Structure 1
Amino acid sequence: MQKDNSNRTKDNKKVLNISLVVAVLMVGFGFALVPLYDIICDITGLNGKTGVMAASDVKEQDVGHTVTVQFDGTVNSNLPWSFRPKQFSMEVIPGKLYSTEYIAKNISEEDVTGQAVPSVAPNEASIYFSKTECFCFTEQLLTSGEEKQMPVTFIVSSDLPKDIEVLTLSYTFFNKNRMTTAQQAEGNAKHEKI
């Protein structure tokens, strides 16, 4: 009987050790999914990810072709800000550098730090949209009642397929202090790539 208990204890320890290893591997795999997802999105243009281009790399081309870029801005329900584009659309020539601004205002009685997460629609066009400067590259602190103009400088690649005539650049601002761990990981991963 004692041998059975001894064998059972060994078996239980073995099952416990295997379970712990599996649990650790699952947690590790969960954390690895964020960068893997990011890499897949960068390669395929999924999830509206955009690229980054240096202003010196801009080459003006195809002056006869224009594209409409629409601008959209929203805030997460945990962020007591108003946020909107200064202009809602712009006709752009692919290959040429453009600038626009968004306006954010903290409507709370506290200082709040926000983080913008960008996306471009349609998804297949996102790989042709690059930002050279953007407020989304860093966290933004607005004091109580403060209003700030937030510039973005961008270029639509001259390689954009001719059948894509309208792009939408959208930002969602999140309250950095109240972001969940998953939202922070997603936002950080996107900003490292954008």
Structure 2
Amino acid sequence: MAVHRDNLRMVGKLAVVAVGMFAFGYALIPIYKHVCEALGINVLAVSERQVPGNSSAVPANTQVDTSRTITVEFDANARGPWEFKPERRSLQVHPGELATVMYEFQNVQNHRMAAQAIPSYAPRNAAPHFNKLECFCFNQYVLEPGERKEWPVAFVIDPKLPKDVTTITLSYTFFEVGGKTPPAPVASVVTGKEQS
């Protein structure tokens, strides 16, 4: 009889443990969601939040200055025998607005080539306000003979851009890394004897 009673007690304890484990597993989903929201580590929990008044509304980007329009001109220079050009010559954007433009490149040489682009800006005071989020100029690339690529430039113009700047020119010079590209021409100096 004592053994039978001990067995019943053990079954009762195991049943309580099983029910407790089931309840904990069931409660784990809302606990996980609340912990992730509190710590800000669950991307899905952030996107599931409801906007008061309208569940389908997306918060507007308040950093975009719609009162101003900046014309961005795109220029491409190649230091070597290949094709390099932007998909468009200009784009109008508002400061704070994300914009993307594609650049096309083709290695027309008969050998593999490593190349990189260097950006420049006009006017110069616009450079600190031209923020590139993605750019092919960040890396060197190796292209096979005849290989064609397209690369994006994603950028945002800082709303603190001086008010007198209405046009920015983004210019890239694409050059072969380690190649035998001829140096840029140097202006010759004319001496007094040569002038007479």
Band of TM-score, shorter chain: 0.5 to 0.7
d(CA) in 1 for partners of 2:73, 2:62? 22
Q: Which runs of 5+ in 1 are unaligned?
A: 1-57, 181-194
Give the aligned partner of residue 88 of structure 2.
87
Larger relative contact order (CA 8 Å, sep ≥ 6):
1
Check if 1:74 corresponds to 2:77: yes
- Looking at structure 1, the residues matched to 148 and 157 of structure 2 have their Cα atoms a distance apart, in angstroms, of 29
Secondary structure, counterpart of 1:70 in structure 2 = strand
Q: Any idea what the Cα deviations from partners look like across 1:45-82, whole Å, max 9, x if unmatched?
A: xxxxxxxxxxxxx8632112100000000111xx2211
TM-score (norm 2): 0.59
Query: Which AA in structure 2 matches 1:83?
Result: F
Rounded to whole Å, the distance in 2 between the matches of 1:59 and 1:119 is 29
SS of 2:63's partner is coil
Q: Tell me how large the CA RMSD over aligned residues is.
A: 2.1
Segments ≥4 residues shifted beyond 3 Å: none
Aligned to 1:156: 157
> How many percent identity over aligned positions?
41
Structure 2 counterparts to residues 10-159 of structure 1, below 5 A: 60-76=63-79, 79-159=80-160
User: Where does 1:147-186 land on structure 2 (aligned, <5 Å)?
Assistant: 147-178=148-179
- In structure 2, the residue corresponding to 1:68 is in which secondary structure? strand
Structure 2: give runs of 5+ residues left out of the alignment.
1-60, 182-196
Q: Which amino acid aligns with 1:61?
A: V
Name the structure where helix makes up a greater proportion of residues: 1
Using structure 1 for the length normalisation, give the TM-score: 0.60
| Map of 1:10 onto structure 2 | none
**Matched residues, number:** 123
